[in-house]
Structure 1
Amino acid sequence: MKKSLVALALLGASAGFAQAQSSVVIYGTVDAGMIKRTDQSLAIGKRANNTLGFKGVEDLGSGLKALFQLEIRYEPDSGTIEQGGGGVQRPLFQGQSRVGLQGGFGMVRIGRGLTAFQETSTQFEPFHGIPSPAGFQTDLMVAGYTSDPLGLVGNSTNRFSNAVFYNSNVINGFQINATVGTKESSSGSAAIVGRGTLANPQYRPGSEASANPYSVSATYTGAAGSLMLAAERNAVESRLLSIAGYVMATPELKLMATRVQQDRGHTFFNSEEARSWVVGANYKMGSGKILAGYGQKNQGALNQGMQKTKQMSIGYEYSLSPRTYVYADASNKKGPTIPSSMNIYALGVNHAF
């Protein structure tokens, strides 16, 4: 009898211990290749973000979990922390740094990460939403929009810092995602002249947001495809609206399209707006996959004519294993840039761990 009681007590203690168990996973991506642009010499670069991440989950019981995620981004050719425009070194946890809770209510996190729109939209982009020069995510997919105009110089343009993130559970294929940021100053941004002057810019370095940034997206996903509606407002009150969708025409063929409109009237005298659309396809052939896309972006003052950017890209991936693939990309981009027509070629390898 005593032995049975002891065994029962030990079993109960073990069950309690198991409930409080936590797990931490180390993950990442190493992507490097050779890139040639029309206006540059051959260089070693990357197609996708190179990451080193740590994420963990603790079971709190009754269906409630605590979770966190920290993600470092780095340059593959030098081993340094990821750099932004002009060679500016970005923060250590540039990718994300969030902690939160998950349960029957969905998932709530606090910190820094992709906005609801930016995170959701990647599944409708033919190059997986990676920042490849051949991809569309950083420019045409967002009509030149930036989620973080007052962030540190060189920061990623598709994230909110000092924000609360919510993702609902998926119910009958439907999901709601929302992000709300505070007005906190990043204390390191460049001046935005906007409706001001060089001497008195509309947003000085270190300015707070003039309105709370927010981002919302709603998706429905079924066996045949998916549809997204999204809206976002950044710290300088530029507004974005987007509709996107994809269909699985066959088990091997995915067709997708995106339409975006951006209103920048808060910082432009002429109520400048931007519009863009992208269509794309992915086609699997055994271990290989073809990626293709075409898009246009129109931006400028409505009463002065719109400046048009056009991009056409094609890529090929071949999986050597479930975690490693080689790739080849080719892209042409025409627009009000120097040079006005730019060709980009890339060849490399991507490994996930």
Structure 2
Amino acid sequence: MKKSLLAMALMGAFSGAAFAQSNVVIYGTLDAGIHKTSNSANTAIQEGGRDNSKLGFRGQEDLGNGLKALFHLEIRYEVDTGNIERSTRPLFQGQSRVGLQGGFGTVRLGRALTSLQETTTQFEPWSGMPNVAGFQTDLMVAGYRAAVSGSGSDPLGAAGNSGNRFANALWYNSPVFNGFQLNLNLGSKENNGLATAIVGRGTTVAPQYPAGSRAQAYPYSVSATYSAPGTMPQYAVYAGSERNSTEVKWHSVGAYYRPIPALKLMGSYGRQDMSHIRAINDTMKSWVLGANYNVGVGLVRFGYGQRDTDGEVKTKEISVGYEHNISPRTYLYLDLSQKKVPTSTAPASSNMNQNHYALGIHHNF
């Protein structure tokens, strides 16, 4: 009996020590509102937010000698219905990664934003939020995420997957050295459930990427950043390149500058090379200029950008947003945007306006 009690006490002591060395954080976002976009599928007033609603778990365990084990899981859901985001997406749509961190940097395995996609969110006026008024999901990435079949980070992924993530992938982030950091990301050739029967120059008889096919080349994503010293750097720059599983390439550079602490100015340029899947009109270029300005308890967001695709009229967008903080974790927001997009009917040189309005509430926990 005494031996059993001693064994239980020792097990409790060891489990308590392990627990003390671990750090797990539960966090999330709830974003709900109403929005309307003219000349689109959302012409009627609809429910929905400007940001993803999410529930996340992240943590680390101290392994000793400066080495840590890391994990990160993030669920996306629709706040108005409680359903998984878009119903068809993975449970851990946001990310699911595990890895190690030490003096060598950070190595992780799983599914998440690609290295370049993750970097660019710091240089976009809406901080990478996937809303209509923002620029990250379309213009800033030169249409790489959604504009063309076969583009995006994961074109061979299952239907409903987001187009700016790698699954079955490896990430490496170097230590920050004098403000510089290198971020590398390599995907596997493993198919994640091909969404369309044909991607590329193929035909129904001889598709270039038939349903269920594997990638012909390893997808990769790389970015390099430099930030000025300080917790709120006065300026930062980045450059990067990515190739997806259909060998479409996207290159991007950008910078931001704070002339005063309350004002952040930013700009980016991107170029997409679709020569592997298109015989003509295989280049898409874009640029975005933006600003964030803190005024009292509010934040003003502004941006203007253009996307120029070979053989099409330019896409142009101008957006303004305002956030009113009612607590450290909660704010109300208003977004207004006008986007000129090419029409799907003749003449090919014409475009139409899409006016977007959104009003909502955003809460972090």
Normalised to the residue count of structure 2, the TM-score between the two structures is: 0.88
Aligned to 2:171: 165
Q: Does 1:71 align with 2:74?
A: yes
Counting aligned pairs with the same residue, the percent is 57
SS in 2 for 1:140: coil
Q: Does 1:256 align with 2:266?
A: yes
Aligned residues: 334
How far off is 1:18 after superposition? 6.6
Q: Does 1:218 align with 2:224?
A: yes
Aligned to 2:127: 128
Aligned to 1:109: 108
Q: C-alpha distance in 2, partners of 1:193/1:178?
A: 26
| 2:116 aligned partner, one-letter code | F
How far off is 1:242 after superposition? 0.6
Q: Does 1:270 align with 2:280?
A: yes
Normalised to the residue count of structure 1, the TM-score between the two structures is: 0.91
SS in 2 for 1:117: helix
Aligned to 1:7: none
| 1:159 aligned partner, one-letter code | R
Residues 59, 66 of structure 1: 8 Å contact kept = yes
Residues 126, 282 of structure 1: 8 Å contact kept = yes
Residues 21, 58 of structure 1: 8 Å contact kept = yes
Query: What is the 5 A alignment of 1:83-122?
Result: 83=86, 89-122=88-121
Moved over 6 A (4+): none
Aligned to 2:362: 350
* CA offset digits 1:121-163 (Å, max 9, x no partner): 0010001110011000100010110111111111111100000
- Name the stretch that deviates more: 331-340 or 205-214: 331-340
In structure 2, runs of 5+ residues without a counterpart are 1-9, 145-151, 345-350
Q: Does 1:207 align with 2:213?
A: yes
Q: C-alpha distance in 1, partners of 2:80/2:198?
A: 33
Q: C-alpha distance in 2, partners of 1:220/1:336?
A: 36
In structure 1, runs of 5+ residues without a counterpart are 1-9
* CA offset digits 1:299-322 (Å, max 9, x no partner): 13xxxx343100000000011111
Residues 19, 59 of structure 1: 8 Å contact kept = no
RMSD, aligned CA = 1.8
Q: Does 1:147 align with 2:150?
A: no
- In structure 2, relative to structure 1, the CA distance for the partners of 1:51 and 1:19 (3 Å cut) is closer
Q: C-alpha distance in 1, partners of 2:362/2:312?
A: 38
Aligned to 1:318: 324
SS in 2 for 1:123: helix
Q: C-alpha distance in 2, partners of 1:19/1:320?
A: 36
| 2:278 aligned partner, one-letter code | F
Residues 309, 333 of structure 1: 8 Å contact kept = yes
* CA offset digits 1:77-102 (Å, max 9, x no partner): 2110001xxxx611111111100001
Residues 263, 271 of structure 1: 8 Å contact kept = no
Q: C-alpha distance in 1, partners of 2:132/2:273?
A: 25
How far off is 1:220 after superposition? 0.4
Q: Does 1:280 align with 2:290?
A: yes
Q: Does 1:26 align with 2:26?
A: yes
